[in-house]
Structure 1
Amino acid sequence: MSILSILDIGKSGITAQRLALEVTSQNVSNVNTPGYSRQSTVFESGTVSMERGFPLGNGVQVAEIQRAYDDFLQQQLKNESTTNGQAKTVLSSMNRAEQLFNEFTTDGLGKSMQDFFKAWQDLTANPQGQPERQAILARAQQLTDQFHRVNGYLNDIKTEANKSLEGITADVNDKVTQIASLNDQIRQVEVQGTKANELRDKRDLLVRQLSQKVGITYLEQPDGMLNISLSLGQPLVLGKDAAQLSLQPDPANGGFYKVLTTPPGGTATIDITSIVGGPNNSQGEVGGTLQVRDTLVNKFISNLDELAYNLATQVNAVHSAGFGLTGSTGLNFFAAPAAMAGYSGLGGIAVNITNTNDIAAADTNPLTGGTGNNKNASTIATLYDKTLPFSSGSTTLEGFYNSIVGNVGVAVQNAQRGQTLSDGIIKQLDNLRESSSGVSLDEELANLIKYQKAFEGSAKLINTGAEMMDTILGLVR
């Protein structure tokens, strides 16, 4: 081995340690960067050559800049992010719905029902009393207003959920476009034989963020590109091409949006509403939003309609058979329901009686001997505790309302439980990822010292070689 070989070995050491210091510096500077994976320098000995019959190395070289990455953890984070996005979306809406169904001790719908039937009970004590009759009309108006208020607020939740799809789908489009662009960049870098570590980190982070919006699966191709599809197979990213989601009002669903996609590289749009928001595959924020809009809130509105329908039908049946103070009969107390659907909203349940004299408290005509008769009022007052047929089984008006309150509470608890569990799992997975792929400042500072010393050693080797060369040149002179 010549003195020049010594200089070359020293040069290789300086080059390799300098690169290792650069990698360590990159780790330290990105210690707080979301999604960044720790990188490490992998060294290998230079090519061995024979020198006077002995195998001697020719310095050191960097074999690879390795990224600390665990695809299994990435898959788990992706899956749990999808669950978390769905749970958070549902919980937010269910918390709002829960506020509508207050206990009977407050001024909610349940209390209004109690007050309405109590007013009829008060009328039985003085069937001809105008104050008592005025109280019935006032309580009836409060009751119908409460039905309208709750129905309107539930429909507002649906409308806002529908509106939120605009922002969510725009975010999905942005992320799949970025992923497709990163795919192309990664391919161009890695075709040269190097690893695009930082670009892969950015892409992995985008994949996790995308999975929070919608349920996805992915598969890496041999050229480093990542193909991404919806959970049920519809492609979102194919190589450097990305799909584009769009929204279109659906007349068959009250004008609410249906979700469409233009496949990567395609032109024809496909309706994927059932794919991203079906009963058994509501995933991510898109799925949670569609679940709230098309399933959960509709169930509450349907129950509310049924409660209003049965209440009005039962009161009307008794009231129309009774007599008012002036002999009026055959009058419905509430607007007659044309259908159950939508009856709790505006245009549905309403007070049909405007004249207090038309309130049918008697079961016989007061003009023919029924003065002071309170039997009809008493019958209406008992309707509150009467067992009636409902879709869920026979129960009282109070019992059915309590079941609605219970269903809302169960929906909130399920969403809360799902989010709490998901938050805990994500936190645990993040900790696992941090331990395997995160940057440890203590470790990196130790590496800085190690590589610095190796750099100084290589520099010292070059100085020694240079001194040896000077000695030989001095002998020649």
Structure 2
Amino acid sequence: MASDLLSIAASGARAARGALDVTAQNIANASSEGYVRRSLRIEEVAASGGAGRIGDISLSGARIAEIRRNADAFLQGEVRRTSGDLERANTELRGLRNMESALEQSGVFSSIVEFEAALQQLAGDPVDPSRRAAVIGEATTLANKFNITASSFDAVGEGLQFEAEAQVSETNVIGGELARVNLRLTRAGAGSSDRAALLDQRDQLLERLASFTSISTTFEADGTVAVSLGASPPLGFVQGGTSGTMSSVEMADGTIGFSIDGQSVEPGSGSLAGAALGLAELATVRTRLDTIAATLAGVVNNAQAAGVSLDGSSGQPIFAGTTAAGLRVVMSEGAGLATAPAGASANSRDDANLGALRQSLAALDPAQQLSNVLFDVSSKVAGRNVTQSALETIASSARISLEQQSGVDLDTEAANLIRFQQAFQASGRAMQAASDIFNTLLGIGR
């Protein structure tokens, strides 16, 4: 009996010590990102039969059956989904804000207005050299402002492309890490502390991956996970101990495409989807800006060709280039401005051709066109702000729900610390009592 009591008490002490270790881990990692609270499942150890006790059940103490993670697969999935949607909105909004800043700060709108104002002043005295020089000066400033805007758009696109390429590289790193975690999970003991740590690592990697692109997961009984990326349809990325390779390619229009092992894939959500949306919008705005620059240059140059310059020669182009980035002034002197109609004599004060140019510009209204572009971008920024705020609230709620369910409550852990310490002390006293009984029996035998 004393021997049985001693072994029972010893098993209780081992179980209580294991519970204390788990509680200490919970307390130490209470603020660790991605840590999921652990708990122990302790079960009775029972044996049946024996000499003279066939069919009887003999209780032999307790043992640690399993270290459990207080994880909820549904809440984890919600956190991955909502964080992916939020990252998509954040990245797209950041790109739109940068586009808006590029349009506002370049000053191209005011330069168009100043150029038209210089033409209006020239109409008051079409042969005045200073007014002619002012028109050329404003034309040069206008071309420079278009160049600056195009350069700013290039910087926005390069920033989005660079971030996307870095995230694609990190996606491949995470895929490799998930494959290695899968292999280690197949070798980890069921219910062990090592297995719990591997599952924490697996879930952290999945959450990080979901911030880049939408993911689909299939979990096996041994904790390994198969991962597919993208949408419509998702493509396999991690299977067992192997992972695929994601790559990105920049298109001719500045947009970006993605593929997994050579198969095209749409990110669906996450920052890669946001980068794709931002670059697509940038390509549209860039095309509209190029159209404004090209049509403005075409109207001015066509008017020049229809008139004569100050010396009576045929008018020559003021602008060259068909894009905002390539627009430049090729006329060096104000005397080349063709203010007079074809056939007019040198130094003619007839400004009929200048009037026709001003009418053509008024019909084109490049300032209004540019204002429309800025208005559209600003409207999208305002709309995406609302969407981003809503998604941020949803993602925050999902995160709070997960932390409430799987996070560490220090008050609970403090109570457990006392409870398991008392259990350990009680087992120690039971061992001492068994030892005393055994010694007493030995003494009686003498």
TM normalised by structure 2 equals 0.90
Give CA deviations for 1:251-282 in whole Å, capped at 9, x if unaligned.
Answer: x62798754433xxxxxxx143xx135xxx3x
% identical aligned pairs: 25
Choose 225-234 or 66-75, whichever is displaced more. Answer: 225-234
Give CA deviations for 1:43-93 in whole Å, capped at 9, x if unaligned.
Answer: 233327687998664322323211100111111111122222222222232
| 1:70 equivalent in structure 2 | 72
Q: How far is the alpha carbon of 1:35 from its aligned partner?
A: 0.6
| 2:323 equivalent in structure 1 | 343
| 2:356 equivalent in structure 1 | 379
| 1:142 equivalent in structure 2 | 141
Give CA deviations for 1:367-407 in whole Å, capped at 9, x if unaligned.
Answer: 28x83222332333344442x4xxxxxxx322211111012
Choose 13-22 or 153-162, whichever is displaced more. Answer: 153-162
Contact 2:106 2:145 in 1 (8 A): no
| 1:266 equivalent in structure 2 | none
Q: 1:109 to 1:127 in 2, by over 3 A?
A: same
Instruction: Name the SS for the 1:127 alignment partner.
Output: coil
Q: 1:384 to 1:257 in 2, by over 3 A?
A: closer
Contact 1:73 1:429 in 2 (8 A): yes
Give CA deviations for 1:316-352 in whole Å, capped at 9, x if unaligned.
Answer: 33332223222223533333x6xxxx52222xx3324
| 2:244 equivalent in structure 1 | 243
Contact 1:37 1:69 in 2 (8 A): yes
Matched residues in 1 for 2:170 and 2:410: separation?
34
| 1:265 equivalent in structure 2 | none
Partner residue of 1:357 out of 324, 327, 335: 335
Matched residues in 2 for 1:174 and 1:298: separation?
30
Contact 2:90 2:388 in 1 (8 A): yes
Instruction: Name the SS for the 2:46 alignment partner.
Output: coil
Contact 2:41 2:65 in 1 (8 A): yes
Matched residues in 2 for 1:260 and 1:397: separation?
40
Structure 1 residue runs of 5 or longer lacking an equivalent are: 263-269, 389-395
Q: CA RMSD of the aligned region, Å? A: 2.6
Q: Tell whether 2:310 aligns with 1:325.
A: yes
Aligned positions of 1:273-352 closer than 5 A: 275-276=265-266, 281=268, 283-293=269-279, 295-335=280-320, 343-346=323-326, 349-352=327-330
Contact 2:257 2:276 in 1 (8 A): no
* Amino acid of the structure 1 residue aligned with 2:323: Y
Contact 1:366 1:372 in 2 (8 A): no
Instruction: Give the paired residue count.
Output: 440
Matched residues in 1 for 2:314 and 2:245: separation?
63
Aligned positions of 1:91-110 closer than 5 A: 91-102=93-104, 108-110=107-109
Contact 2:216 2:229 in 1 (8 A): yes
Q: Tell whether 2:411 aligns with 1:442.
A: yes
Matched residues in 1 for 2:55 and 2:101: separation?
88
* Amino acid of the structure 2 residue aligned with 1:39: R
Matched residues in 2 for 1:400 and 1:288: separation?
27
Q: How far is the alpha carbon of 1:465 from its aligned partner?
A: 1.7
| 2:170 equivalent in structure 1 | 171
| 2:114 equivalent in structure 1 | 115
TM normalised by structure 1 equals 0.85
Q: Tell whether 2:411 aligns with 1:412.
A: no
